[in-house]
Amino acid sequence: MPNSSFIFNSSVELHSKLQERSLTCVDLLDAVYAQVDAKEPQVKAYVSLLRETAYERARSLDLRFDAGEELPVLAGIPIAIKDNICLKGSRTTCSSKMLEHFVSPYDATVINRLNAQGMIPVGKTNLDEFAMGSSTENSAFFTTANPWDLARVPGGSSGGSAAAVAAGEAIVALGSDTGGSIRQPAAFCGLVGMKPSYGRVSRYGLVAFASSLDQIGPFARTVEDVAHLLNVLCGFDPLESTSSKQSVPDFTKSLGRDVKGLKIGIPKEMMGEFVHPDIREATVKALDLLKAQGADWEEISFDMFDYAVSTYYILAPAEASANLSRFDGVRYTHRCDEAKSLKEMYTRSRGEGFGPEVQRRIILGTYVLSSGYYDAYYLKAQKVRTLIKNGFEKLFQTYDVIVTPTTPTTAFKPGEHSENPLAMYLADIATIPANMGGLPAMSIPVGFSNGMPIGLQIMGKAFDEETVLRVGHAYQQLTDFHRQVPGGMQ
């Protein structure tokens, strides 16, 4: 597309162009939607687009820029929104037939905060149904493609958001992360993806999957953009009961600091034979690069990683079973035709509205919460979760950050794990522990294997996003992996 390579710039770079008026908000939006029109038939990142409201906002912001007003750094930046985050007047489908025609009557807190900064939502992105999956294959509508190789998945569950940014169909995006649903697609699509500490970002307006694990977070090309987005997204919300009152720093101030003296631990359990050799090699290279800048890293043992996946797949389905019980066909959800009884209406509506993976998790969650199994499974899993959290706290007494590969492999092909749910679940083996501990964790691009991006995960202690960002930003000053663009998207 002629003269529109700026769609692959960072928000910070675009802000300079907008402020100096070498680029207008409408110009930027024109370029993004032109990319959507050109690439969306192959990528399929979006469930719905918001052109009319987007252009209204762009024109309004241009008037303010033209008047010489100093606007926030994210003003005028097109952003993609995962379609499990409520945006007033637009469909919020969760990529499910159950909510296919639901129009949100209100904005999520994060949407209000983005609106206050003058950001421009481009559209709502595809996901694994109700955020349950690691590939977007579980979407009721279609599977999103990975812009680096259209024959591969973008990851999940926030696959649409990751693909939109990687393809230049948005500058940045929002996703949600329950067990790796931001970090894993960020790794697969060559982006930075951040899961903040639990409680940092309000969940008000996020359709719940597992309420004690869910967090909203950003996708971007640079750690610097992520820091600016976190400045907007984070903060106490009286509308959300688990929202933290912890003070929110200016995350951008941690970016200029070097990594001298930082101690990095890398669990040997996450560097075994199940991790692709290219990914292990890229991980060690990234750590050695940080070591050359004054950080120190060493291999550690944390056997709690071995229990995280099995614990997660007891707790998360249990919470999903409870949260999804509200979708019963009575009010705003899918309702079956001509049911002869209330029971038939419930069972047929839920059977038709929920896809196989959602049904599997509801059944599993209902089972572990049922009489006779609650103590054996759910209660025991809660105790293991506490052990995982305590184990992290002990590690962070010695180490500033814990680093792992984000994923054991690069992006796989659709259908590769479809018949083996366990193999799909194990794709999140490195990302799930951070959700269990409520910790901040970020994936950054650190290389390629056979042309597909590799991600490195950086985890910090609770509410210490600053150190995570500091390490990621220091790495990006020394490399250009985050500057690479999928060949077919230019």
Residues forming the active site: 82, 157, 181
Q: Which of 241, 240, 243, 246 is nearest to 204 (CA)?
A: 240
Measure the CA–CA gap between 73 and 118, rounded to whole angstroms: 9
Q: Which of 414, 416, 395, 408 is nearest to 459 (CA)?
A: 395
Measure the CA–CA gap between 248 and 230, rounded to whole angstroms: 9
The answer to whether the beta carbons of residues 41 and 34 sit under 8 Å apart is: no
Measure the CA–CA gap between 74 and 82, rounded to whole angstroms: 18
Measure the CA–CA gap between 174 and 194, rounded to whole angstroms: 10
Measure the CA–CA gap between 422 and 246, rounded to whole angstroms: 37
Q: Which of 296, 477, 300 is nearest to 400 (CA)?
A: 296
Q: What angle, rounded to 10 degrees, do the helices at 223-233 and 11-20 form?
A: 80
Spatial CB neighbours of 405, under 8 Å, sequence gap ≥ 6: 270, 271, 275, 279, 280, 282, 283, 430, 454, 455, 456, 457
129 residue type, one letter? E
Alpha helix locations (H) across 370-431? Answer: 380-395, 421-426
For residue 185, what are its two tokens? Answer: 């697609």
Measure the CA–CA gap between 270 and 14, rounded to whole angstroms: 37
Alpha helix locations (H) across 327-379? Answer: 342-353, 356-369
Q: Which of 191, 186, 187 is nearest to 276 (CA)?
A: 187
Q: How far apart are the first and last CA of the chain?
A: 7
Q: Which of 45, 160, 109, 477 is nearest to 293 (CA)?
A: 477
- Whose tokens are 């949100």? That residue is 104
64 residue type, one letter? R
For residue 339, what are its two tokens? Answer: 């049911």
Measure the CA–CA gap between 324 and 316, rounded to whole angstroms: 12
Q: How does 129-150 read in b/e, with b if 16+ C-beta sit within 10 Å?
A: bbbbbbbbbbbbbebbbbbbbb
